[in-house]
Amino acid sequence: MAVPAAQSPVKLMALQLLLWHSAFWTVHEATPLGPASSLPQSFLLKCLEQARKIQSDGTALQERLTGCLRQLHGGLFLYQGLLQALGGISPELATALDGLRLDVADFATTVWHQMEDLGVAPTLQPTQSALPTFASAFQRRAGGVLVASHLQSFLELAHRVLRYLAQP
């Protein structure tokens, strides 16, 4: 079928999308073939094997993605608590620490909502376990250096994983 030159590419894409949708809808609504089918048994068995493999691959991929999301959320939740424990590190760092804590909390919430949308979130949100207490100013500063360093490494790894998952 020739497409007139006056038709826009958007209309053509919409038409293709409509055709694909109707084709998938037809397949979705199709009734299973009965035993009197004229299709060869070997073809049916091969199709069944391929469908099982695709289903298995899809399940494995979903499990890996779910694991990535859970690890990402767990790490963010941990660092959210550690940043909370650093409260009072120094007056000049209070604003930066509060901003970082809010950013980490927002990121954790975003990941949690995505897990809920996908139906893979645990039934209850995790609770913070016992966090370190920094008794002295030196301990808070040393803890701050360690937490910031490990948070930076964690976020770099998370960025690489998310960038990998975002590839087509």
Q: Write down the pLDDT at residue 156.
A: 96
Higher per-residue confidence, 147 vs 122: 147
For residues 117 and 106, the answer to whether their CB atoms sit within 8 Å is no
* pLDDT tier at 140, thresholds 50, 70, 90: confident
pTM of the entire structure? Answer: 0.67
pLDDT the model gives residue 159: 94
Residue 23 has pLDDT above 60, yes or no: no
- For residue 165, what pLDDT is reported? 81
Question: SS3 for the chain, per residue?
Answer: CCCCCCCCHHHHHHHHHHHHHHHHHHHHHCCCCCCCCCCCHHHHHHHHHHHHHHHHHHHHHHHHHHHHHHHHHHHHHHHHHHHHHCCCCCHHHHHHHHHHHHHHHHHHHHHHHHHHHHCCCCCCCCCCCCCCCCCCHHHHHHHHHHHHHHHHHHHHHHHHHHHHHHCC
Percent of the chain past pLDDT 90, that is, above it, reads 40
- pLDDT-above-70 percentage for the chain: 78
Question: For 33-88, how does the pLDDT look when each residue is reduced to its tens digit (9 = 90+)?
Answer: 556 467 888 998 999 999 999 999 988 888 888 899 999 999 999 999 999 888 88
Q: Which domains does the chain have, with CATH numbers?
A: 49-166 (1.20.1250.10)
